[in-house]
A and B are shown apart, each in its own frame.
Chain A
Amino acid sequence: MKQLLTGNEAAAEAAIQAGCRYYYGYPITPQNELINYMSVRMPEVGGTFIQAESEIAAISMVHGSAAAGGRAMTSSSSPGISLKQEGISYLAGSELPCVIVNIQRGGPGLGDISASQADYFQAVKGGGHGDYRTIVLAPSSVQEMADLVYDSFDLADKYRNPVMILGDAQIGQLMEPLEFHRKPKKNLPAKNWSLTGAEGRKRNIVKSFYPVKGQLEEFNAHLQKKYKVIEENEVRYEAINIHEADIILVAYGTSARICKEVVKKSQQYEFRVGMIRPITLWPFPKEIIRKVSERVECVLTVEMSAGQMVEDVKLAVEGRCPVHFYGRTGGGVPTSLEIIKKIVEIVPDNRAANTLLQLAEVK
């Protein structure tokens, strides 16, 4: 049965359906539908909802429930996610599974409350201190928000690692019809490391502190090994027209929705534009981008930022073809016309592109 929900509500409901019973949050726009929804639904399923005193407390409560073996989640938007970085580093360092939803808004500082993708660096490169990784999933529709949140709890448990859902104000507040697909759970490892009281067994200690020389380096090597396994097994992306294209757009989330429109328009006018939409931002789909870059004229990365993911695209392309960038900042959302203009600019001799531009402008 299809339902009409906002992305924020879809994330909350999917979490509950995935077995999340511990939610801790703090109000911030544009993710308020999520915390509000949780306050109603958690008591209905016998779960815990706490409106925490701060973002720091909320992520720390997640830390506790995750350590105790529960499926736990928090959500926020950019400035709030900055505050959670301490906790995320501790969760990663303690190898605790949890899900963090970031419905990005404009920055830096208090910024504004409109859609943005300027937290890519923070989400993908760390944000907190230390050599750690969070699995980062980027939905580009309400349906995908539900699907990814549902999967994220399994991913978190499978790897004992925090998972971040990186949405934005558009994806969070947009209403779209969706269906909840309750895929059967895969065999997940037992949480025999969790804190349940040491009845009849050795004590468990959940910690990230390794003060004895050499131990921390050993632990970091273990983490890096785990991250490599994730990189080998969990990459997700959507590829459109990549075999016929002369130019490839790379975009995620809201930007990808607009790029899809550009690809569609170009098909109408026999203009060869393809697209790669990373669904996992970490692990990044570098292999497919590398492959495509061997063949196409150039790559254009489109983001609602001053250029963050484009750095990873360049690392994947490794100079095999030019990598261009088009971005809007501070709540600006690129239009398909702007993107087409950019294509014309970077491929000036492409007559098909000029035709496309003329037609797009007439519209």
Chain B
Amino acid sequence: MHAIYEKPKTFVDKATHFCPGCGHGIVLRLIAEIVDAWGIRGKTIGLAPVGCAVLAYNYLDIDMCEAAHGRPPAVATGIKRVHPDHVVFAYQGDGDLAAIGTAEIIHAANRGENITFIFVNNAVYGMTSGQMAPTTMLRQKTATTPSGRDPINSGYPIRVCELLAVLEGSSYLERVSLSSPENIRKTKKALEKGFKTQMEKKGFSLIEILSPCPIYWRMDANEAMRYIDEEMSRTFPLGVVKDWEHKN
């Protein structure tokens, strides 16, 4: 019998620590599927962030490195310079990439580092009990914006893809979401494009993935998916922001 759907080999066979309804498991699985399909386990090196995905290396059966909070772009740079022909990706959350690691991601993009960044944006600090993230939307309630994010005190949500697009060093930037099977398929395509960008040495790629955090959004899993479509995608429009294959 021919299996039409099975657990990817690169996805370690154990329960994850992620909360019910979390998107991280989906994204990690998609990475594992691509590593399997492309047969690149032996030449792939991943970076785990500090945050909810800190234990990503427990679930992906590939060589992986930890980085201090926000530093995956710099650590990945150091790895990629030693192994320029390997596939190096950094997996980062919104606090890691767009708050404490803002300098690192901007300069990795500016150098055109031939690395793929997988940016999981769930608009909240999940690991530390739901505080405001740099991508928390206006009026969104979090542990540290109990009355909703007010730009007068807390600034505005940062649109990372648009921010990096102005840098000449960035090659491929796309925002996708996990809100439906269709969007998950698009996410996988975007990840493949990111890896392809790197393998063809076309430079810096970043895929921003809008991902649900039902626990700290204080809603159930279905509501969270709807929230991505109806609220989050308005602040963070889906689509290709920059593509080296289709330069305007």
Interface residues of A (CB under 8 A from B): 22, 24, 48, 50, 52-54, 56-58, 60-70, 72, 86-87, 90, 94, 195-200, 203-209, 211
Contacts and interface: CB of A to CB of B under 8 A. Distances in A.
26 contacts: A52-B74, A57-B73, A60-B75, A61-B77, A61-B81, A63-B71, A63-B78, A64-B74, A64-B79, A66-B78, A67-B75, A67-B78, A67-B79, A90-B66, A195-B83, A197-B41, A197-B44, A198-B62, A198-B63, A199-B42, A203-B61, A203-B62, A205-B57, A207-B48, A207-B57, A208-B66
B74 A61 contact: yes
B76 A64 contact: yes
Contacts of B61: 198, 203
Nearest to A202: B61
Interface string B37-64: 0000111110010000011010011111
Given A68-B83, A197-B43, A203-B63, A87 B68 contact: yes
A57 B70 CA distance: 10
Given A60-B74, A63-B68, A197-B83, 14 more contacts: A53-B103, A60-B68, A62-B78, A63-B71, A64-B78, A64-B80, A64-B81, A64-B82, A68-B78, A68-B82, A69-B82, A198-B42, A198-B61, A207-B66
Contacts of B57: 203, 205, 207
B78 A65 contact: yes
Contact of A197 (B42, B54, B55, B104): B42
What interface size band does chain B fall in?
A: 35 or more
B28 interface: no
B43 A22 contact: no
Contacts of A68: 45, 78-79, 82-83
Nearest to A63: B75
B66 A196 contact: no
Contact of B107 (A53, A66, A199): A53
B45 A195 contact: yes
Contacts of A195: 45, 63-65, 79, 83
B245 to A, nearest CB: 27
B67 A60 contact: yes
A197 B89 CA distance: 12
B81 A48 contact: yes
B43 to A, nearest CB: 4
B149 interface: no
Contacts of A54: 103
Contacts, number: 135
B86 interface: yes
Interface in B131-175: none
Contact of A57 (B54, B62, B66, B103): B103
Given A90-B66, A206-B66, A56 B79 contact: no
B83 A196 contact: yes
Interface in B75-112: 75-83, 86, 103-104, 106-107, 111
Contact of A209 (B44, B60, B62, B66): B66
Given A87-B68, A204-B63, A53 B104 contact: yes
A211 to B, nearest CB: 8
A52 B78 CA distance: 11
A60 B83 contact: no
Contacts of A24: 78
Given A68-B83, A197-B83, A205 B74 contact: no
Nearest to B47: A64
A317 B107 CA distance: 50
Q: Which of B57, B61, B76, B106 has the most CB of A within 10 A?
A: B57
Contacts of A22: 78, 81-82
Contacts of B65: 63-64, 67, 195, 205-207
A203 B82 CA distance: 18
Nearest first, the 5 A-B pairs at minimum CB distance are A64-B78, A199-B42, A60-B74, A68-B82, A53-B107
Contacts of A58: 74
B45 A197 contact: yes
Contacts of A196: 63, 83
